[in-house]
Structure 1
Amino acid sequence: MLGLKRRGQLLLDALLVILGPTGVGKTEVAIELAKRIRAEIISADSRQIYKEMDIGTAKPSSAVRQKVPHHLIDLVFPDEIFDVAGFKARAEAIIKELQKKDKLPILVGGSGLYIKAVMDGLFIGPGADWKLREKLKKKEKKEGRGTLHQELERVDPTTASRLHPHDQRRIIRALEVYHLSGKPISSYQTQFPSTLTNAVMIGLERERESLFRLINERVDRMVAGGLIEEVESLLSKGYSKDLPSLQGLGYQQIIGHLKGEYPEEEAIRLVKRDTRRFAKRQMSWFKRDKRILWIDTEEFSSFTEISDKIMDILMKKIPQI
């Protein structure tokens, strides 16, 4: 099993990032890699942090996690707050600890802001203005869902393009920064140079229709695996449907069905549609980062072959591995 090598007494600050749209196979490739080298996986998924939300977030099974250590999964309960600043602090601490142990940290996920926070730093911005936040919430409630996202599109189209129209918490934060500073939050988030000199960013992609087919199939597997029952269980435990954790893909649409708004078939259709739309936004976000080396997964017949390709890239980019 391969590991990191030392130059003198200093461990090189090597980091591998595997990113891409939902459903493309990031986790499977990372697991294949981690089995072959001294590596551990750090999840960069803003939904896998939640306990009791396993099926809808596509968490690796407990059996897989026993074989390959995973970090930053099951951190908080669905009604607890966890933000990107908390993720950044924990991820950086784990990265440093793994490097000290001669292990390669593999940061894996599709949450662009989480990955950017680790790679480029984090803009904290103006402090919270609770009166403004409440005013914005009331505006959304009065004028209809999507109103705040439309406002964000006018003042900060870059940020609006990567946020789901129903991601009220992040939309309000972006509008808050704009109203308090006069600048879009996206302008601040481009001011940090990379501090990780030995980081390799690998993006996995595939042709759109092929990706959409995989997404549809994955949603079907989630439903067959108990997604609806998982959502029922969360609601029965008293978790509010309005929690940020339950506003995510899969959960929001299933909740609508359970509340009697539409039949199960329509809920599944909405999950598939919204997941495909989310994948498109993910790719738009990632394609702006020129540091990413892209791999077309359709050119390979297995996750093992993709991991072989990544190993070739690593040996060239970080010869010390």
Structure 2
Amino acid sequence: MPPTPSTPIVAVVGATASGKTGLSLDLAERLGGEVVNTDAMQVYRGMDVGTAKLPEAERRGIPHHLLDTLSVRDPATVAEFQGWARAVITDLRAGGRTPVLVGGSALYTRAILDRFEFPGTDDAVRRRLEAELDEVGPAVLHERLRTVDPEAAERILVENGRRIVRALEVVEITGRPFTASLPTLEYADPHSAQIGVDIDRPTLDARIVQRVDLMFAQGLVAEVERLLAEGLAEGRTASTAIGYREVAAHLRGELSLEEARERTVVATRRFARRQDSWFRKDPRVTWIRFDDADLVDKAVAAIPTT
């Protein structure tokens, strides 16, 4: 395929465990593309089992980008990820390759696809809020955020102290709600498409239980033990990952193994509902049933060709 500025940018979106990975591979094969990870945790080396990272042997020979680029000690921000992903997308399209974005981080996907300029930072404000986070915990700061920006509080998990701090920082330094700085529903490049994998809640809930059970069976506890030795607990971003924080609590003696497993299931279900809610509010997403016999054909038909 010759280089062309109209090579589409395709994002496969939807809830975790809905089947996005398989569809992304099918589309990459059909479109002559390569996969660009948009999962905030799959960028970390060694975070494999707990993020359901696709093993290299199962990638059908399709190149994958933005996997295993950071150590668990390294922080990562949406602004940084936006820059990394857009650089990869530019290179792929220059070579006539279709970027197929896939991952569970809804804000990362929107930041890449849409017009999104990030508000500045204030180191003094950030350090003060981070000190408060360490002192009183994320739940207290989340309640404060609910007071000043209810919409942002609704979108951010109580456990995600890093994003709560960022939201409070933006509110303080801009005098506006954090949600006012979120991306607008306008693609940065019009040759973009989002394909949503539509799945009913009972089926999704069952899949999440199966996925979590498989993670624990495949060695999630051993993976977390190894990563803690590599500095996971000190990593501001990686340490917040679902499954990893629950297993870390188990290893500290705070939870039984079964409690850690059950809390991982509950947190994953809650996360999946937030993902679905986020994407359902975007009218540009073309939703296709996960078990549709013509899933790939319908997805391809929804992608702009000019």
Give the corresponding residue for 1:287: 280
Give the corresponding residue for 1:306: 295
Deviation at 1:243, TM superposition (A): 3.6
**Cα pair 1:85 1:122 within 8 Å, conserved:** no
**Cα pair 1:16 1:104 within 8 Å, conserved:** yes
Letter in 2 for 1:104: T
Specify the SS of the correspondent of 1:166. Answer: coil
Give the corresponding residue for 2:119: 125
Q: Does 1:207 find its partner at 2:196? A: no
Measure, in 2, the Cα distance between the counterparts of 1:84 and 1:258: 30
Q: Deviations over 1:278-305 (max 9, x none)?
A: 001111111111111111214x25xxx4
2:169 to 164, 176, 186: 176
Specify the SS of the correspondent of 1:240. Answer: helix
Identity %: 35
2:68 to 74, 79, 97: 74
- Equivalent residues in 2 for 1:40-55, closer than 5 Å: 40-55=34-49
Specify the SS of the correspondent of 1:294. Answer: strand
Task: Tell me: CA distance 1:95–1:141, structure 2 relative to 1, closer, same or farther (3 Å).
Answer: closer
Deviation at 1:64, TM superposition (A): 2.7
Task: Tell me: CA distance 1:127–1:186, structure 2 relative to 1, closer, same or farther (3 Å).
Answer: same
Letter in 2 for 1:226: G
**Cα pair 2:116 2:184 within 8 Å, conserved:** no
Give the corresponding residue for 2:237: 244
Letter in 2 for 1:79: R
Q: Deviations over 1:90-124 (max 9, x none)?
A: 21111121112221111112211111111223332
Give the corresponding residue for 2:214: 221
Gaps in structure 1 of 5+ consecutive residues: none
Q: Does 1:146 find its partner at 2:134? A: no
Q: Does 1:159 find its partner at 2:152? A: yes
Task: Tell me: CA distance 1:25–1:191, structure 2 relative to 1, closer, same or farther (3 Å).
Answer: closer
Q: Does 1:59 find its partner at 2:53? A: yes
Task: Tell me: CA distance 1:76–1:143, structure 2 relative to 1, closer, same or farther (3 Å).
Answer: closer
Give the corresponding residue for 1:259: 252
1:37 to 31, 39, 48: 31
Say what the alpha-carbon RMSD is for the aligned residues: 2.0
Deviation at 1:129, TM superposition (A): 3.2
Measure, in 2, the Cα distance between the counterparts of 1:48 and 1:19: 16
For this pair of structures, how many residues does the alignment match? 306
Gaps in structure 2 of 5+ consecutive residues: none
Deviation at 1:84, TM superposition (A): 1.4
Measure, in 2, the Cα distance between the counterparts of 1:251 and 1:45: 15
Give the corresponding residue for 1:194: 187
Q: Does 1:20 find its partner at 2:17? A: no
Deviation at 1:138, TM superposition (A): 4.0
Which deviates further from its counterpart, 74-83 or 134-143? 134-143
Letter in 1 for 2:51: T
Task: Tell me: CA distance 1:199–1:49, structure 2 relative to 1, closer, same or farther (3 Å).
Answer: same
Letter in 1 for 2:209: N
Q: Deviations over 1:56-81 (max 9, x none)?
A: 11111011346111001111100012
Measure, in 1, the Cα distance between the counterparts of 2:105 and 2:169: 21
Measure, in 1, the Cα distance between the counterparts of 2:236 and 2:183: 30
Deviation at 1:142, TM superposition (A): 4.4
**Cα pair 1:246 1:252 within 8 Å, conserved:** yes
Give the corresponding residue for 1:114: 108
Q: Deviations over 1:3-22 (max 9, x none)?
A: 5x67xxx4314111111111
**Cα pair 1:203 1:292 within 8 Å, conserved:** yes
Q: Deviations over 1:207-242 (max 9, x none)?
A: 111111111101111111111110011123343266
Specify the SS of the correspondent of 2:233. Answer: coil
